[in-house]
């Protein structure tokens, strides 16, 4: 009899392990293979007694991984855990934050197109240039709506919990609310610094207090590089034009 190996049970069993017990990503999880009398190979989370049962795959625990859950709103714990789970499975998790990159240009462009209508809406509402919002989103998260920094910043425009509350955003993990909150905040910074984009961008990164203290861009390497990159992307978009929308916002939720 020819042995029949079914591949789907492999992924089904592994998926069930994660779904039934998401905490197993931080534990030592093992998958065993077992060949039945009918020649069909099955996979389970426990060893089945018999000479044909053997260890198929061992998932080692993630060590020294902690979730920062020091924020009061109830949405915080639920969404951080959901985001953390998805990112660990996809191999994007490191330390206390999610590492996001802009290396995949095609993917980045598709996400920028997807969020273009929402950015256009709130840019118009709060009288901010669309190009500036696109530039900030790219620098903050590379249009990754699940981005989560070690400091606790969330979503597309990396809103800090305090900023989200200040902008009256109930769920910073919601892409549309995140864009609205970030746009509203940069609009406030532009008014505060009388339309000076560089100072407003610096305030978005380091806080308005630091900009006032130094009467300009604070002498921090991170902030200087941040302003430089955002402004470079802003001028690039002003010259090349904004990406057109291809997808609906709902498709990315």
| Catalytic residue ranges | 140
Residue 127 is given by DSSP the state T
Give Cβ neighbours of residue 122 (< 8 Å, ≥ 6 apart). 128, 133, 179, 180, 183, 184
How many alpha carbons lie under 13 Å from residue 81 in its C-beta half-sphere?
13
Q: In what order do the strands lie in the sheet with 4-5?
A: 4-5, 40-44, 29-35, 53-59
Residue 178: count other Cβ atoms within 10 Å of its Cβ.
28
Torsion of the alpha carbons at 117, 155, 207 and 185, rounded to the nearest 10: 30
Torsion of the alpha carbons at 121, 109, 151 and 94, rounded to the nearest 10: 150
- CA 15 to CA 11: how far, in whole Å? 6
Helix axes 105-125, 175-192, angle to 10 degrees: 60
């Amino acid at each position: 009899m020819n042995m029949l190996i079914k591949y789907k049970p492999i992924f089904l069993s592994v998926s069930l392990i994660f779904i039934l017990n998401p905490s197993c990503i931080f534990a030592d999880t093992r998958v065993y293979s077992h060949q039945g009398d009918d020649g069909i190979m099955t996979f389970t989370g426990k060893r089945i007694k018999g000479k044909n049962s053997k260890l198929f795959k061992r998932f080692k625990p993630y060590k020294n991984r902690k979730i920062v859950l020091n924020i009061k709103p109830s949405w915080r714990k639920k969404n951080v855990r959901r985001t953390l789970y998805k990112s660990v499975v996809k191999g994007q998790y490191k330390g206390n934050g999610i590492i996001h990159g802009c290396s995949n240009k095609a993917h980045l462009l598709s996400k920028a197109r997807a969020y273009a209508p929402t950015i256009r809406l709130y840019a118009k509402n709060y009288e901010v240039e669309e190009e500036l919002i696109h530039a900030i989103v790219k620098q903050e998260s590379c249009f990754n709506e699940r981005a989560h920094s070690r400091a606790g910043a969330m979503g597309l425009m990396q809103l800090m919990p305090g900023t989200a509350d200040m902008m009256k955003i109930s769920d910073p993990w919601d892409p549309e609310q995140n864009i609205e909150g970030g746009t509203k905040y940069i609009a406030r910074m532009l008014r505060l610094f009388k339309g000076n984009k560089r100072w407003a961008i610096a305030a978005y990164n380091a806080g308005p207090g630091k900009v006032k203290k130094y009467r300009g861009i604070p002498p921090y390497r991170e902030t200087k590089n941040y302003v430089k990159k955002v402004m470079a992307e802003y001028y690039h978009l002003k010259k090349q034009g904004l990406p057109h929308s291809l997808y609906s916002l709902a498709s990315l939720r």
